[in-house]
Chain A
Amino acid sequence: IAGITQAPTSQILAAGRRMTLRCTQDMRHNAMYWYRQDLGLGLRLIHYSNTAGTTGKGEVPDGYSVSRANTDDFPLTLASAVPSQTSVYFCASSRTSGRSGELFFGEGSRLTVL
């Protein structure tokens, strides 16, 4: 089934280590997003990309970086992980045209930083 694929599904990471969460979509959507979800705080936008080659900062970008070399891939990198980055991370995409407000989400990557 087409959609968003995230990897890894879960990961335990030592503080200070570098980690890249992978996200791939096969729907040819122009826009992609990274959210983090924490208990009691809902989903918060980390970074987004309007189209390949462009990225932008969301609500909580500090400590994270993204790249968008092509339409399909949108990796999220934690250069030096800290315990406060323990969270569930969701990648999403949306079409440029068509219904507004409709994002397609992946299954999430659960990251634990010790």
Chain B
Amino acid sequence: LAKTTQPISMDSYEGQEVNITCSHNNIATNDYITWYQQFPSQGPRFIIQGYKTKVTNEVASLFIPADRKSSTLSLPRVSLSDTAVYYCLAHQGSVNTGFQKLVFGTGTRLLVSP
């Protein structure tokens, strides 16, 4: 499994765009990059996944450069409710066995202030 490194914490204000970068220098060819969000007193929640280039959904965008050694989660116009811990994971793309070996690091604690 590729090791991921991301900032321990970030601060922002409401309405700003937040970009959280994750490095995964030893990512394997068939690895995907997935981001989870965890609110206090709740379990983590899948928010976005990508392999390369750019992926966008209703929650966030994920930018992955051609070398795939890093990825950036972009949260547009954050609100107070985006205060959470964000985890970056690099993992195998195959789910043939059913079990998915995911390694959650300590994540990035995002604090959004008024």
Contacts and interface: CB of A to CB of B under 8 A. Distances in A.
B98 A40 contact: no
B94 interface: yes
Interface stretch (B21-29, B61-69, B73-81, B99-107): B99-107
Nearest to A4: B43
Contact of B98 (A42, A51, A99, A107): A51
A102 B34 contact: yes
B100 A105 contact: no
B98 A43 contact: no
Q: How large is the interface on A (under 10, 10 to 19, 20 to 34, 35 or more residues)?
A: 20 to 34
Contacts, number: 74
Tell me the interface secondary structure of chain B in the complex.
Answer: loop
Q: How large is the interface on B (under 10, 10 to 19, 20 to 34, 35 or more residues)?
A: 20 to 34
A74 interface: no
Interface in B22-56: 32, 34, 41-46, 49
B12 to A, nearest CB: 22
A95 interface: yes
A85 interface: no
B49 to A, nearest CB: 6
Interface of A: 4, 30-31, 35, 40-45, 48-51, 56, 90, 92, 94-108
Given A42-B105, A100-B95, 4 more contacts: A31-B98, A94-B98, A100-B94, A101-B89
